[in-house]
Structure 1
Amino acid sequence: MNDALILESWRENAAPWIDIVRAGGIASRQQVTDDAIVEAVCGLSPRDVLDIGCGEGWLARALDARGIRVVGVDAVPELIEAARGASAGDFRTLAYEEITAESFGLAFDAAVCNFSLLGGSVVDDLLRAVPSLLNEGGALVVQTLHPVTACGERPYRDGWRAGSWRGFGPQFSNPPPWYFRTLARWLQLLRDCGFGHVTLREPLDPISNLPISAIFIARRSPLD
């Protein structure tokens, strides 16, 4: 399992992903996580946002409707084409390794990664680059699977895990692996990458009352 296999899987599954997102076919997103990430980003009152791993562009459209300028980037060309087809926004095909301050020619009030940080070292390197993309006082918002509930019966320690499309339908294939990080590791990683203040939100599943995701709001250190 490695970062390259994640990108391979998303390229294979871009078309069914576009369909299921636009049909509202993922219950957890409709019930909790979509609203949670929009609320977290809007709570920062940003003028402009970099949407990293924007997919087919739903979050960029939601933020644009609230008067926020968004630049969306994704490594999968089919997803970027879909985003451009649904919005007049600024969407660019960029691998995470290609995201630098020089990529955009401007700094952002906020960056957001909504369930788009699945990898290992690629994610670590990206997060180290993000502070240079932000204005002074800017923030990064990350929503990811909650480590406690996503851990299941497996050991609670960092490492690669096999992915699954269970519940998504037969149109999906070759599930991407993902790199599991504990809560402590997420917090330490963000601090190590230049974010001086990190807060955590834990949106709850309305049925189980267990955390369905973790949202980290990480503010750039004023010394960076």
Structure 2
Amino acid sequence: MTRGHTDPTRTDDVEGRPDGSAHAGPEVWDANARAWTRAVREQRIASRAAGTDATLLTTLTRLAPGRLLDAGCGEGWLIRALRQHMPNCWALGIDGAPALIVAARAADPNGCYHLLTYDALAAQDWRADPVLAERLADPVDVVVFNYALFDRDIRPTLRAARALLAPGGAVVIQTLPPCASGAEGWRTEEFTEFGEASWVPMTWYARSRAAWESALADAGLVSRTEQAPTPDALSLLLVAQAM
């Protein structure tokens, strides 16, 4: 999903998620869809206003894709923004949360948004959907994950993304900057800074920079360019291409 930088609570449980927490999968994002959509559209996420949205759009404009897949598109803000910045770019958004796809379609009736989980993407279940099969019949120039990779094992998703790329294409990942210690593990997000009482807390897996590179390499990708993290960085931005 398209997410933003908050201040998650650290947990030291590297082997498993904290007891009682909800994983950052389709179910929890479906439950949080209304509150998340309001947070994005009412610009309640400070880091996005401070530069992460603009940084991603600048990178995508530089890459100038003719065809783009927004994996984890959430309520669809990126595809709407791309229409303004890159009107000649064909863009498709997929997300595993039904309520977010409903929100995306309602805000952008002419856009292309489809319900598809990462597991279904990796299993190529989309080939059984005539509409998706037609729209993904040709490779894409960019697959973008904007704060949308929260699982501990992201390798199947990255392999699926690589398989969709045209020659010379790129996987673009914007995510939270690795912690200074490089420690990995589950974190809990409470969403307290957004001022809503209806959030369902979720867990997501924080990984080191080395772990990101390892996952990319396992998928046959290598990071060619990046926005280098600094002590006050709002995000880590990776642009990876096939080896």
TM-score, L = length of structure 2: 0.80
Where does residue 24 of structure 2 map in the other structure? 6
Where does residue 69 of structure 2 map in the other structure? 50
Q: Distance in 1 between matches of 2:119 and 2:95?
A: 11
Q: Is the 8 A contact 1:63 1:69 kept in 2?
A: no
What displacement does 1:64 show? 1.9
Say if 2:178 is the partner of 1:147. yes
Q: Is the 8 A contact 2:35 2:196 kept in 1?
A: no
Q: Is the 8 A contact 1:190 1:198 kept in 2?
A: no
In structure 2, the residue corresponding to 1:106 is in which secondary structure?
Answer: coil
What displacement does 1:203 show? 6.7
Q: Distance in 2 between matches of 1:196 and 1:13?
A: 33
State the Cα deviation string for residues 93-150 of structure 1 (Å, max 9, x = none).
00001113845222100010000111112x221011111111011001000000126x
Matched-pair identity in %:
36
State the Cα deviation string for residues 125-184 of structure 1 (Å, max 9, x = none).
1011111111011001000000126xxxxx632222222213112334222101111011
TM-score, L = length of structure 1: 0.87
Where does residue 129 of structure 1 map in the other structure? 160
Structure 1 residues 102-141: aligned runs within 5 Å: 102=127, 103=133, 104-121=136-153, 123-141=154-172
The letter for the 1-side match of 2:185 is G
Q: Distance in 1 between matches of 2:206 and 2:179?
A: 10
Q: Is the 8 A contact 2:105 2:113 kept in 1?
A: yes
RMSD value, Cα: 2.1
Instruction: Determine which of 18, 22, 39 is the counterpart of 2:58.
Output: 39
Say if 2:98 is the partner of 1:77. yes
Instruction: Determine which of 112, 119, 124 is the counterpart of 1:90.
Output: 112
Q: Structure 2: which 5+ runs fail to align?
A: 1-16, 128-132
Choose between structure 1 and 2 for higher RCO, CA contacts under 8 A separated by at least 6 residues.
2
The letter for the 1-side match of 2:139 is A
Q: Distance in 1 between matches of 2:57 and 2:39?
A: 19
Where does residue 152 of structure 1 map in the other structure? none
